[in-house]
């Protein structure tokens, strides 16, 4: 946290005027997250930051999740770490911020991966984590539910299954927000258990697949 202690709260007056961009200091983020009970840092608990900037909240949330992974076996740690990464979502209007957020989240994962398994790192694991982050950090406008290209924001849910598999389901962000009242009944997830596509925003369900091959899934 000390490395970001004196980081400027803004990039330019022009960006403040155009986009209202002001960064939250790391110490403020830390104090806010300290208010949450310890159980929210479980790997599968989901977080969405609809104006994520460079990821100030997301990187500290990931830090807290990975710090609590007391797992010695490498493939078990990698799987749980992937669940942690896959549980974090960010939407950001500005391209440079979204790119920096992606890099910052990846940097946190690599720090813990290197600390725990410096000599035995798996390149497939690193590529899959990169894929998960690239899917979960989205450049777009959370207020209009659209990406910068005008298409609807799509958010992927990653559900851990047996035998180191992930189940991927794609939702429209608009559908998730619209189903917000129902979502409150499931406090552990951004996503609902509703099966009606028109109500939940569900647009596609993929077959379960080994989590390290999830980036290749097409059906």
Does this model's pTM top 0.75? My answer is yes
At residue 219, the pLDDT reads 81
Please list, in sequence order, all residues whose beta carbon lies within 8 angstroms of the beta carbon of residue 187, skipping any fewer than 6 positions away.
none
CA distance 57 to 47: 10
CA distance 94 to 55: 12
When computed from its CA atoms, the radius of gyration of the chain, rounded to whole angstroms, is: 17
Domain range annotation of the chain:
36-216
At residue 181, the pLDDT reads 57
pLDDT tens digits, one per residue of 38-93: 999 999 999 999 999 999 999 999 999 999 999 999 999 999 999 999 999 999 99
| Positions in the chain whose pLDDT score sits under 50 | 1-5, 12, 15, 17-19, 194-198
From residue 117, alpha-carbon distances to 3, 43, 81, 107, 125 in Å are 24, 19, 13, 15, 12
At residue 9, the pLDDT reads 53
At residue 18, the pLDDT reads 46
Phi/psi-derived region of residue 216, left when phi > 0, alpha when psi is between -120 and 50, beta in every other case: alpha
At residue 6, the pLDDT reads 53
- Bridge partner residues of 146 (DSSP): 141, 152
Token representation of residue 191: 């996503």
Nearest CA to 173 among 204, 133, 199, 142? 142
């Amino acid at each position: 946290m000390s490395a970001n202690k004196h980081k400027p709260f803004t990039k330019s007056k022009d960006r403040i005027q155009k986009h209202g961009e002001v960064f939250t200091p790391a110490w403020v983020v830390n104090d806010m997250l300290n208010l949450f009970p310890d159980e929210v840092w479980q790997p599968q608990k989901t977080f969405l930051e609809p104006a994520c900037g460079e990821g100030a909240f997301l990187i500290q949330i990931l830090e807290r999740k990975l710090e609590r992974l007391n797992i010695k076996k490498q493939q078990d740690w990698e799987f749980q770490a992937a669940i942690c990464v896959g549980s974090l979502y960010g939407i950001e209007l500005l391209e440079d911020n979204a790119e920096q957020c992606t890099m910052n989240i990846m940097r946190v994962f690599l720090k813990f991966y290197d600390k725990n398994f410096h000599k035995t790192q798996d390149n497939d694991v690193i590529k899959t984590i990169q894929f998960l982050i690239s899917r979960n950090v989205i450049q777009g406008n959370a207020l209009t539910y659209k990406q910068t290209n005008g298409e609807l924001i799509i958010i992927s849910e990653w559900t851990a299954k047996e035998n180191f598999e992930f189940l991927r389901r794609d939702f429209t962000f608009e559908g998730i927000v619209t189903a917000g009242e129902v979502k409150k009944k499931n406090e552990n997830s951004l996503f609902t258990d509703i099966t009606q596509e028109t109500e939940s925003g569900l647009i596609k369900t993929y077959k379960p697949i080994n989590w390290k091959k999830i980036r290749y899934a097409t059906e």
